[in-house]
Structure 1
Amino acid sequence: MHFDIPDLRLFIHVAEASSLTGGARRANLSTAAASMRIKSLEGQLGSRLFYRDSQGVELTPAGHDLLTHARAIMRQVEYIKDEFSQYAEGESGHLRIFANTTAVSDFMPDVLARFLVSRPGVTIDLQERLTHDIIRGVIDGSTDLGVVAGPVKPNKKLEVIPFSVDRLVLVTSKDHELAERKSISFKETLSYPHIGLREGSTLFNFLKDQASEAGVALQMRIQVFGFESACRMVSRGVGIGILPRSIAHRYEEFMDIASIDLEDTWAERERSLIVREFDALPRCGKELVEEIRS
């Protein structure tokens, strides 16, 4: 048995008007179209809903029962519309975001703090993932939004929205022999012990792949959880590290570290937001995209 909301609404209009013509007028239908819908509804229920005469229509006992249920259903529909209008207006909602290491550790906390403080009804699930997992998550719908760095292969199931540039630099202690260099190739750095992020982080996997392409092993002295820990290790001369320039500049203010530009073309990576379909995002999702882009 299948009920259409418009048919139930029409039934209520006809019952309240005690007239097929009056009910049809309220539903913006012709009398003939309204009559066909009522007959179809009666056919689905296997019950006569109205007595018809020259004066109009009168509810049958089955019609009275249906009217009670139909009004309850329509009230529930209105409750649902009211509740979900808050989501459509961006006042409420939930977003899941898959992002790379830099995004999760660097700029996303500040962006999300600004965004959430003015939207108390919105909740966000931010998860650090590898780039291929982020892309797969957006495609299969397990996340609403992805944040990646570097090129994204064209895919008709993705919309890619660039928003900034992320440049990787070499970070050393101020007294390191490389600290005075203006620039250096990544391959040159591979003869020194590196400090990196934990196994499985987006940045670690990316650098491991670049070292493999250069035909040199990446010597990891220690792997740590987070950029601040990496910079502290570097400042004390434990090793060198490859980090985002924004991170290096932040910690240069109060740690004894220096940053040197990498000469490799891949060192400059475009940051992008990826979504399956921007227009399908809830309003709060669209607003977050604009917040990140700004």
Structure 2
Amino acid sequence: MHFDLADLRLFIQVAQGPSLTQGARRASLSLAAASARIKALEGQLNTRLLYRDSRGVELTPAGQRLLQHARLVMRQVDYLKNEFTDYGGDGAGHIRIFANTTATTEFLPEILAGFLSTRPGVTIDLQERLTRDIVRGVVDGSTDLGITAGPIVAPELQMIHFSTDRLVLVVASDHALAARDTIKLEEILQYQHIALHEGSTMLAFLREQVEQHGVSLLLRIQVSSFEAVCRMVEADVGIGVIPESSALRHRQTMGIKIIALDEPWAVRERSILIRDLEGLPGCVHALVAAIKAHQGSGA
């Protein structure tokens, strides 16, 4: 069985939707040519790959499986090209990263700035995703590596632990809870919270914990960063749950009190998720080493 790389690339473009027309345009093909190639691919595999209707296209179960394999094949082709550029070694390549809120806003920008400054041939696509989407992305090959926090069940992936953080409660210095050193989640459910934006990993995780108590999280305002959470907390607009590393940094310049959360889920093991490290190019190996070294330095 022979696969044309151009056909696999076209199939990926079409699978991203919402229609065959859009996929053909992204692949720089006419609609007729794209349709003929997809039909030929279905004939070669002897199975239907797409459901077609007036709304666009939808992958069949066989199409879902092909998409996963096609993405992995094309990523490997990209790796092969990068390995033979003029830069060589770990100095060239493109890395896609799916990461949680803390990683994308707190420590990865500093790591990536240093990493990229010494590797002009490397480009990076960093996307904030929910934990389930990070795991799925690494499994199906749509991302090279994932950065997560907390327990992960993904036996098919390699998990590289690189640091430990914990979630804490931050309140204004003169807040009614400011005298507390530790607190349970159930004790803060009646207070209004300052939280991150919709779609953030942190908000999704906190809501899961709160809903286990049979209530909803009381939101006063949602902001875009942990710094903004602390500024709102300092002004006594509400209280917030954030990583301890962020709270300690912002406490140096803001009037906030840090209270330990007496919950088993508050301790967060940070991990790098990879499908197969040995199969990834040198630039990814170098980035993994940079993340581990940065956290190991206590930064």
Return the TM-score normalized by structure 2: 0.69
Indicate the residue corresponding to 1:182 in structure 2: 181
Correspondence list, 1:78-227, <5 A = 84=84, 86=86, 89-156=89-156, 158-227=157-226
Distance 1:113 1:288, change over 3 A: same
Asked if the contact 1:187–1:216 (Cα under 8 Å) also holds between the matched residues in 2, the reply is no
Shift of 1:214: 1.9
CA distance in 2, matches of 1:247, 1:279: 33
Distance 1:253 1:152, change over 3 A: same
SS in 1 for 2:227: helix
User: Deviations 1:56-83 (Å, cap 9, x if unpaired)?
Assistant: xxxxxxxxxxxxxxxxxxxxxxxx9897
CA distance in 2, matches of 1:225, 1:289: 27
Distance 1:233 1:211, change over 3 A: same
User: Deviations 1:120-176 (Å, cap 9, x if unpaired)?
Assistant: 1111111100000001010111100100000010322x1111110120000001000
Indicate the residue corresponding to 1:25 in structure 2: none
Letter in 2 for 1:199: E
Distance 1:82 1:186, change over 3 A: closer
Letter in 1 for 2:106: D
Letter in 2 for 1:140: D
Correspondence list, 1:61-80, <5 A = none
Letter in 1 for 2:202: L
SS in 1 for 2:166: strand
Shift of 1:215: 1.9
Indicate the residue corresponding to 2:257 in structure 1: 258
Asked if the contact 1:130–1:200 (Cα under 8 Å) also holds between the matched residues in 2, the reply is yes
Shift of 1:203: 0.3
Which consecutive unaligned segments of at least 5 residues does structure 1 have?
3-79
SS in 1 for 2:242: strand
CA distance in 2, matches of 1:201, 1:214: 21
CA distance in 2, matches of 1:82, 1:249: 40
Distance 1:97 1:87, change over 3 A: farther
CA distance in 1, matches of 2:143, 2:273: 10
CA distance in 1, matches of 2:91, 2:102: 28
Shift of 1:290: 0.8
SS in 2 for 1:239: coil
SS in 2 for 1:125: strand
SS in 2 for 1:214: coil
Shift of 1:88: 5.1
Distance 1:277 1:83, change over 3 A: closer
CA distance in 2, matches of 1:271, 1:291: 15
User: Deviations 1:165-190 (Å, cap 9, x if unpaired)?
Assistant: 12000000100011111100111111
SS in 1 for 2:236: coil
CA distance in 1, matches of 2:127, 2:287: 16
Indicate the residue corresponding to 1:286 in structure 2: 285
Asked if the contact 2:83–2:89 (Cα under 8 Å) also holds between the matched residues in 1, the reply is no
Letter in 2 for 1:143: T
Letter in 2 for 1:180: A
SS in 2 for 1:255: coil
SS in 2 for 1:165: strand
Superposed CA RMSD in Å reads 1.7
Distance 1:88 1:161, change over 3 A: farther
CA distance in 2, matches of 1:227, 1:177: 22
Distance 1:190 1:274, change over 3 A: same
Indicate the residue corresponding to 1:230 in structure 2: 229
User: Deviations 1:5-31 (Å, cap 9, x if unpaired)?
Assistant: xxxxxxxxxxxxxxxxxxxxxxxxxxx
Shift of 1:86: 4.6
Report how many aligned residue pairs link the two structures.
Answer: 215
Same amino acid, percent of matched pairs: 54
CA distance in 1, matches of 2:214, 2:244: 25
Indicate the residue corresponding to 2:244 in structure 1: 245
Shift of 1:87: 6.2
Shift of 1:216: 2.4
Larger C-alpha radius of gyration, 1 or 2? 1
